[in-house]
């Protein structure tokens, strides 16, 4: 392995004229870098006869390409919903609304409402995880779905108000979302609402 496998147009009049390769595609970089990562980059540069800057640019290009494959910087928020609003009880909502957002521009990119094929229950947490959700905004949630989301690295914000979906997401993006207590209580079990509908 001589260079990181990134798509890059190399400079220089002749590719093998004894000059070091210089990447023509300059990459802006304005984030602080962890010292451990810097040491790894310096070691990589030394072993592959590159300058520290070239190693850094290669790493940034590789990260950029990876993020593009994953859908860029977008984040997917899952919300148990009914009638276009958040439903207060996770396992008894009408559907799940998935809102794709760009956290950098604080804008909504896409909104989809979906229902699992096997119906809605506390086990729907597995299905939501499979849809690629990063965050779940909920009112009340029992212990079972909370543990499923935790196992899959999905952040849950419970105690959210039963607000309009777009309004709720906008509040979240602007750090104005005030979450209360989990309405399912400390015991981790939802009580009542067994007719499969969300009651406001």
The lowest-confidence range among 55-69, 128-142, 162-176, 178-192 is: 178-192
CA distance to 23, 59, 84, 130, 189, per residue, from 176 (Å)? 43, 35, 20, 28, 28
Question: What does the pLDDT average to over 99-115?
Answer: 92
| pLDDT at res. 32 | 56
Is the dihedral angle over the CA atoms 166, 171, 173, 174 positive or is it negative?
positive
Looking at per-residue pLDDT, the higher value among 39 and 116 belongs to: 116
Single out the residue of 110, 4, 106 nearest to residue 57, CA to CA: 4
The kind and range of the H/E element at 71 are none
pLDDT digits (tens, 9 = 90+) for 133-178: 999 999 989 899 999 999 888 999 999 999 999 999 999 999 988 8
| Coil, strand or helix at 81 | strand
| pLDDT at res. 108 | 93
| pLDDT at res. 184 | 64
The lowest-confidence range among 7-21, 78-92, 109-123 is: 7-21
| pLDDT at res. 155 | 93
CA distance to 46, 115, 158, 181, per residue, from 185 (Å)? 57, 26, 11, 8
Instruction: Classify the phi-psi angles of 196: left when phi > 0, otherwise alpha if psi is within -120 to 50, otherwise beta.
Output: left
pLDDT digits (tens, 9 = 90+) for 2-49: 444 444 444 444 444 554 454 455 444 445 566 777 777 788 778 878
* Structure token digits, residue 181: 């207590």
What are the structural domains of the chain? 1-12+20-71 (no CATH), 75-173 (3.30.420.130)
Looking at per-residue pLDDT, the higher value among 63 and 57 belongs to: 57
């Amino acid at each position: 392995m001589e260079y990181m496998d990134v798509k890059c147009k190399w400079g220089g009049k002749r590719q093998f004229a004894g000059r070091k390769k210089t990447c023509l595609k300059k990459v802006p970089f304005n984030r602080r870098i962890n010292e451990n990562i810097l040491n790894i980059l310096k070691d990589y540069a030394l072993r592959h006869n590159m300058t520290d800057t070239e190693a850094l640019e290669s790493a940034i290009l590789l990260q950029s390409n990876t993020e593009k494959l994953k859908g860029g910087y977008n984040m997917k928020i899952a919300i148990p919903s009914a009638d276009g609003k958040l439903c207060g009880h996770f396992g008894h909502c009408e559907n799940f609304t998935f809102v794709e957002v760009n956290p950098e521009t604080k804008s909504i990119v896409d909104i989809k409402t979906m229902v699992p094929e096997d119906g809605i229950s506390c086990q729907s947490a597995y299905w939501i995880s499979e849809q690629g959700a990063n965050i779940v905004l909920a009112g009340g949630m029992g212990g079972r779905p909370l543990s499923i989301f935790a196992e899959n690295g999905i952040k849950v914000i419970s105690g959210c108000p039963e607000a309009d979906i777009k309004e709720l997401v906008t509040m979240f993006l602007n750090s104005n979302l005030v979450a209360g207590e989990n309405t399912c209580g400390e015991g981790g079990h939802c009580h009542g609402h067994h007719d499969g509908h969300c009651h406001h």
